[in-house]
Amino acid sequence: MTLDPEQRLLQAFVAHTRSPSDPAPLIQICEALVGVKRDEQMLPWAEKGLVLDPHSRSFVHARARALRLLGRHAQAAQTWLDFATLDWSPLFHETRLGRDLYLSGDTAHAIALLERVVDSPAANDDPDKLRARRWLAEALLSTGDARGFMHWVWRNLSDSGNYRYSAVPMWDGQRDLRGERVLVTHQMGYGDQFMLFGSIAQWRAAGAEVLVTCDAPIHSVIEASLAGCRVIAARRPLAPRSPFDVETLPAIEAFAPTMQATLLHLPMLAACGQRPDPSPDPYFAAYIRAPKLAHDQAANWAHALRAQHPGKALVGVFWDCAQRHARDMRSKERSWAGLRSLPLDALERLTTNPTIASRVHFISLHHPVAETMGGSPRGNIAHYAPGITTFGDTAACIEQLDAVISVDSGVANLAVMSGKPTAVLVNPAGEWRWGANGTHSPWMHDAHVLRQTAMGDWDGVVSRAAEWLMQR
């Protein structure tokens, strides 16, 4: 009889209590915690194991993994350095050290190490080499270096599901697209789609006619925003080279594409430019518009709300990443969402501040279901009266606001790509989209980036958000 993951975890705990000096049950506990998607809880068990067996690569790996999920990236990197003499595959060890160095803020060292992995004689489809390309791409992009897109596209062979329409060739880097009919297929999350579809204008300027697929929940927004393009909704691909559903194929065949590009190819058109061609400024220009019906409803709502709060700015707030509440989600996504989310008590320093309240009226940008999971702040905050049920509603609400304050999320990308002044609150290992330093993104205008100086310390970020509001 096969034990379920929780039973295996309980069995491993019992074995450890009976034989506390045996490292084998500790390995089983770590493996079982991965099985129940609680990898971040491995740290004490991995450290106990290292006391018993300081040469165990399994315990080293588990310790570094747990530290990364807890946001303790410098300690994760140091773990790889402390145990560098163990019998690792060089690509395995250097890739993970490079990733954690990048996440800890040691970007220059990370880039040098990851470039060494990418330049190694290992096959291009080696899993560790592909993983190194992903983190090298993000490290380069965090510094504003568009060469990172050349590495980022390799995620199509590794950890990013994507579509392959085999009837036409994949884009090969050509810049003259006159006469080409390009099928652009989606992948990644909502925020990535909001941002990267901003490159479609460059493809159309190069002469291409474009058909775009996107996730169904954002279809109305992308369709309203990409004037002149055909936009169809399709399920998100979960594996590399996924075939299209039979429901989607007729629309693609009717378009009669001559080539395909994935979402990850889009920013490469500008990156492939012949130097000294200037890069677009901004690289991803604001383009998002709300669907007309949602826009009209939002305009009526905003007119009435401004009459109730004369002279006050309307500022949207988004503070909680709902993935952190999803217990069935992988630890990586759930933990990262938790590290990105602003605690309610920190947000309430803004919403209950009487000085701010005299000049600002806050609007929640959360879907009601997500807000019930994370809780609602007290104070000077209201909800969008027409109701947020779709991203079309969110986009329409944002269009009527004076500014947005958001943690690193799809809503932040939506607000910035709508051309709305947006304070983006990020942790020290924030996504490359917001840059590595300073208060400006190297990729998008309208983003004012406020960074933690230490993981989990939101006090300084909230204080600077208050200053940003008062200066507007």
325-340 mean pLDDT: 88
- Decide: 257 and 177 in contact? Cβ < 8 Å: no
Q: Per the structure block, which two tokens stand in for 453?
A: 């100086």
| pLDDT bracket for residue 83 (50, 70, 90) | very high
Q: Check pLDDT > 90 for residue 4.
A: no
Q: Check pLDDT > 80 for residue 444.
A: yes
SS3 annotation, 416-454: HHCCCCEEEEECCCCCHHHCCCCCECCCCCCEEEEECCC
Q: Which of 186, 198, 191, 195 is nearest to 235 (CA)?
A: 186
pLDDT of residue 328: 80
Identify the structural domains of the chain with CATH numbers, from first to last.
5-148 (1.25.40.10), 181-271 (3.40.50), 292-471 (3.40.50.2000)
pLDDT of residue 273: 61
**For residue 324, how many other CB atoms are within 10 A of its CB?**
19
pLDDT of residue 1: 55
pLDDT of residue 324: 87
Q: What is the pLDDT of residues 24-39, one digit of tens each?
A: 999 999 999 999 999 9
Tokens 């590595």 correspond to: 436
| pLDDT bracket for residue 330 (50, 70, 90) | confident
Q: Check pLDDT > 60 for residue 276.
A: no
210-232 mean pLDDT: 97
Mean of pLDDT over the chain: 95
82-91 mean pLDDT: 96
243-267 mean pLDDT: 97
What dihedral do alpha carbons 234, 239, 242, 247 form, nearest 10°?
A: -30
Q: Check pLDDT > 90 for residue 459.
A: yes
pLDDT of residue 287: 98
361-387 mean pLDDT: 93
| pLDDT bracket for residue 318 (50, 70, 90) | very high
Q: Per the structure block, which two tokens stand in for 78?
A: 């140091």
pLDDT of residue 317: 98
H-helix or E-strand spanning residue 360: strand 360-364
Q: Check pLDDT > 90 for residue 211.
A: yes
221-250 mean pLDDT: 96
Q: What is the pLDDT of residues 427-440, one digit of tens each?
A: 999 789 999 999 99
- CB within 8 Å of 371: residues ≥ 6 apart: 320, 364
pLDDT of residue 28: 96
* Total residues found in the chain within this entry: 472
Percent of the chain with pLDDT over 70: 98
Q: Check pLDDT > 70 for residue 274.
A: no
For residue 406, the cross-strand partners are: 318, 424
